[in-house]
Amino acid sequence: MQAPAQTWEPTYSVDAQWCIRLFPSLIDFAFILPAFLLFAFLSGTKRLLTDGDTGWHIRTGQWILEHGAVPKTDLFSFTKPHEAWFAWEWGWDVLFAVIHRFWGLAGVAFINALVLCAVSVLLFQLIRRCCGHDVLSLLFTLAAVCGSTIHWLARPHLVSWIFVIAFLHALVSAERGRVKSLGWLPLLTLCWTNLHGGFFLALVIVSTAGLGVICVAIAEKCTWRHIINRAKPYLFCASACALVTFINPYGWNLHRHILSYLRDSSLLDHISEFQSVSFHHGGAIFFEFMLLMGIGAAWWCFERRKFTPAFLILLFGHLALMYGRNIPLFLLVASPWAACMLRSVLGRARWNERLASFAGTIAEACSDLRSFERIKRFHVISVGAVLAIAVLFTSGRPSFAAQFDSKQFPIESVPSLAAVSKSRIFTYDQWSDYMIYRFYPDTRVFMDGRSDFYGCDFVVNTYLGILNAGYNWETDLRRFGVDTVVIKPEAPLAAVLKRSAQWRTIFDNGSVIVFAVRPSVAGGRTLTADSARLSPVSHDGGNESEVLTTPRRGSNSEFIIYERRSL
């Protein structure tokens, strides 16, 4: 009788296992990875605070805590006061307003850094559950985490990353027979709905899973009764997830508002994060790599009748190509199955000697790690890293200084702004977010980062018209009673304000220029930049009289007729 093949599987005594629990595992490396990238290679907290939306989110949460209610009308602008507004991320706003109250921006940045670490760990565990290969799991986690850095911002969208991974974990469990894991998804959807507007993805993921199960049953030539029985848990779960999304302060109006916002392509074309990614950007190489791997993974899944992951990869790949903000979501969805595909390819790489040798080396390393990795750890390294980062936040070092970047925001102009009346500020939407954080409630802004609230017509025709010194720039500034303008010196509006007698420069450091309206100009009359440039000064009998020219449109809109008036 032939002797059974022997396998080498190391065993550890109880004392040895206790000692191993103190050693770091791959989970620890996955946890530390985002923090290492953020503070060693990126700009640290300044990277998290690159987007000014964090400012108005915090102030919204503070308002909710003070009033014990969720706002239904605008809080921050003077252009649309008391108009209906949906603070759809109110849960995140309240949570981080509490954090900000006790720990300031340092606490906000610290917790968001931990959220990124949690995303990395959950993704590593998901990939390892799918492919069962420790080395490949860590490599694909590294690729996905590096690719997601394009959207590392202290904003509510980070919680959507966690929810997406949690849903994928539940689907993997359901595919392996633990269908009861789907019962947690409606509860997660309820939390998701009140934390971030990306909760629609819950319905997309579960519905796609149900469609995948139906396709598998059809491919196996099952009866319709059997097909329905297979899909029933997913249909019930999707229905329950859909129903709980109406449990929010705004009811069904929230759904209507978000859908109308996402369907407004004219508005989305003017929002940077809704633009397609530029492959000239350095970080796009990770997206490009995963896109190619994702195409192969989708084909690999179709061949094995794994329709759910194939559909999800194609769907999120399409969304990532349309909107750059969806790239991290695609990386989270595609990386587990790309790792499975690559392991399958390496396992069958006998046609090439070098590739087969490389695959054998990786397989041997993974085999050596398996028994060592499966011993539970105390995760001392991860805990120590968290404590070390917390201490470094109090050190005041540049990478840990909890403040907005002075190169991105007009921080140096704050002393000058504090010295003048600034109840109505016109500035860039991102700078307005910072102004809200710095001066609210004493100051209102023209337009901030809540593009869904202002709408396409206001953003394109009014805001951009003023910023680009369009025909009605002065009329619009006067109509809204703007008293302070904070812009970059190279902006077209800065050029005309410099020539206007109605405005005076109160700050200019070469990067930011601040204009304040004069108390009175020419007896209360408005002097435009064009008129100041074109008007001569006439002398009549020794009495000086100023001549103003007021632009007036003729019948042909391509021409402007100037009429002379004497004061």
Determine the Cα angle at 124 with ends 122 and 130, to 5°: 105
Q: Point out the domain boundary residue: 230, 255, 280.
A: 255
Distance (Å, whole) CA 177 – CA 170? 11
C-alpha 514, offset from chain centre: 29
Q: pLDDT band at 422, cuts 50/70/90?
A: confident
Point out the least confidently predicted range of 3-17, 61-75, 89-103.
3-17
In a domain, residue 180? The reply is yes
Range of the domain at 454: 411-534
**pLDDT at position 16, please?**
61
**pLDDT at position 19, please?**
77
Point out the least confidently predicted range of 3-12, 206-215, 297-306.
3-12
In a domain, residue 438? The reply is yes
Q: pLDDT band at 542, cuts 50/70/90?
A: very low
Structural contact between residues 439 and 421, judged by C-beta atoms closer than 8 angstroms: no
In a domain, residue 377? The reply is no
Q: Point out the domain boundary residue: 255, 273, 302.
A: 255
Nearest to 412 by CA among 436, 376, 438, 433: 438
Q: What is the mean pLDDT of residues 419-435?
A: 91
Residues with Cβ within 8 Å of residue 118, at least 6 apart in sequence: 31, 162
Nearest to 438 by CA among 107, 156, 113, 76: 76
Distance (Å, whole) CA 449 – CA 427? 11
pLDDT tens digits, residue range 446-474?
999 999 999 999 999 999 999 999 999 99
Q: pLDDT band at 522, cuts 50/70/90?
A: very low
In a domain, residue 490? The reply is yes
Counting the structural domains of the chain, the total is 2
C-alpha 455, offset from chain centre: 20
**pLDDT at position 17, please?**
66
**pLDDT at position 122, please?**
98
In a domain, residue 398? The reply is no
Q: Is the previous residue joined to 441 through a cis bond, with omega within 30 degrees of 0?
A: yes
Q: Which residue would you say has higher pLDDT here, 144 or 519?
A: 144
In a domain, residue 483? The reply is yes
**pLDDT at position 258, please?**
94
Distance (Å, whole) CA 201 – CA 312? 11
Structural contact between residues 450 and 57, judged by C-beta atoms closer than 8 angstroms: no
In a domain, residue 165? The reply is yes
% of the chain with per-residue pLDDT over 70: 87
Q: Is the pLDDT confidence value at 100 over 70?
A: yes
pTM of the model: 0.87
Q: How far apart are the first and last CA of the chain?
A: 118
Q: Count CB-CB contacts under 10 A for residue 165.
A: 22
In a domain, residue 264? The reply is no
Exposure of 222 by Cβ count < 10 A (0-12 exposed, 13-18 middle, 19+ buried)? middle
Beta-strand ranges (E) seen in 270-324 are none
Q: pLDDT band at 89, cuts 50/70/90?
A: very high
